[in-house]
């Protein structure tokens, strides 16, 4: 029987590419999203992949949303924690609300989704978690103390989850993308983006597909011995 995956933020950007790559790998996909109903509707009409609206920062909504997915499609085997937001500003200008929202969505969402799904994976002896971190969680970024902290937290969360899941056949890995050509990066001012691209050794932004293919591998049967890792997919921009 086909594996069932939930991709948070799975209806556009990197998440859309991940949903399609998993579907192409034979997985039954549920694409979660936060608020863009029109984009989600268009995505479902175009792909046939069911979309589910809930806020990943809301603990109960994640429990309810995952229960609905399981009722519709079957038990959840794969979770891709991709949903993310930015609320940039220097520390001096950043509000507590901007700090709190970014931590609750980007990092809190991973906890909420794991709480909703870990017990079932443990019971069935198989599971895959992939968290989408960021190069800015590895290296930091001016104007992003909230986002860098959340993404860095995701990398630590992943290693701890990997240790807890290992003996139950559950792996947990993170992908740390560099700058990928999506709406999120389109919001970066052109002059700032040009300076960023100049620092990428391969000389271009990444494509959402290049993240999606890495997710498809890490969630496959073949990747059972890979757990607790952070895979950098960044065109060589940051190596360590």
Question: CA-CA distance, 104 to 62, in Å (whole number)?
Answer: 13
The question of whether 129 is a catalytic residue gets the answer no
Query: Residue 92 and residue 95: Cα distance in Å, rounded?
Result: 8
Interface map 154-193 toward ligand NDP (x if CB under 6 A): -----------------------x-xx-xxxx--------
Out of 33, 52, 129, 147, the active site residue is 147
| CA pair distance 41, 115, nearest whole angstrom | 28
Q: Cite the beta strand spans of the chain per DSSP E.
A: 4-7, 28-33, 50-53, 78-81, 127-132, 170-177, 230-233
Q: How many C-beta atoms surround the C-beta of residue 157 within 10 A? A: 21
Structure tokens at 195: 């300076």
Residues between 105 and 164 that touch ligand NDP (CB under 6 A): 105, 132, 134
Shortest separation between residue 208's beta carbon and ligand NDP, angstroms: 7
> Which CB atom, from 27 or from 85, has the smaller least distance to ligand NDP?
85
Q: What is the DSSP letter of 153?
A: H
Under rule CB under 6 A, how many of the chain's residues touch ligand NDP? 30
C-alpha torsion sign, points 46, 51, 55, 56? negative
Nearer to ligand NDP, 91 or 186 (CB): 186
Q: Which stretch binds ligand NDP (CB under 6 A): 64-72, 77-85, 110-118, 164-172?
A: 77-85
CB 225 to ligand NDP: min, Å: 25
Closest CB to ligand NDP among residues 39, 59: 39
Q: Where are the beta strands (DSSP E) in 86-192?
A: 127-132, 170-177
55 lines the binding site for ligand NDP (CB under 6 A): yes
Catalytic positions are 147
Which parts of this chain interact with ligand NDP (CB under 6 A)? 8-9, 11-15, 32-36, 39, 55-57, 82-85, 105, 132, 134, 177, 179-180, 182-185
């Amino acid at each position: 029987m086909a594996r069932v995956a939930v991709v948070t933020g799975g209806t556009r950007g990197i998440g859309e590419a991940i949903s399609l790559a998993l579907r192409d790998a034979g997985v039954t996909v549920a694409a979660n999203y936060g608020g863009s109903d029109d984009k989600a509707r268009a995505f479902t009409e175009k792909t046939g992949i069911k979309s589910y609206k809930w806020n990943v920062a809301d603990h109960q909504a994640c429990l309810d949303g995952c229960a609905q997915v399981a009722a519709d499609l079957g038990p959840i085997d794969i979770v891709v924690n991709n949903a993310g937001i930015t609320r940039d500003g220097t520390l001096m200008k950043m509000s507590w609300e901007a700090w709190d929202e970014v931590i609750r969505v980007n990092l809190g969402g991973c906890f909420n989704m794991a709480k909703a799904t870990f017990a079932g994976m443990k019971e069935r002896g198989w599971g895959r978690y992939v968290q989408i971190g960021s190069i800015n969680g590895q290296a930091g970024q001016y104007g992003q103390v909230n986002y860098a902290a959340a993404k860095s937290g995701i990398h630590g969360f992943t290693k701890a989850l990997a240790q807890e899941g290992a003996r139950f056949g559950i792996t947990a890995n993170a992908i740390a993308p560099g700058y990928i050509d999506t709406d999120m990066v389109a919001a970066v001012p052109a002059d700032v983006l040009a300076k960023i691209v100049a620092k990428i050794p391969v000389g271009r932004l990444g494509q959402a597909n290049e993240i999606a293919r890495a997710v498809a591998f890490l969630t496959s049967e073949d990747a059972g011995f890979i757990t607790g890792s952070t895979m950098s997919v960044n065109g060589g921009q940051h190596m360590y």
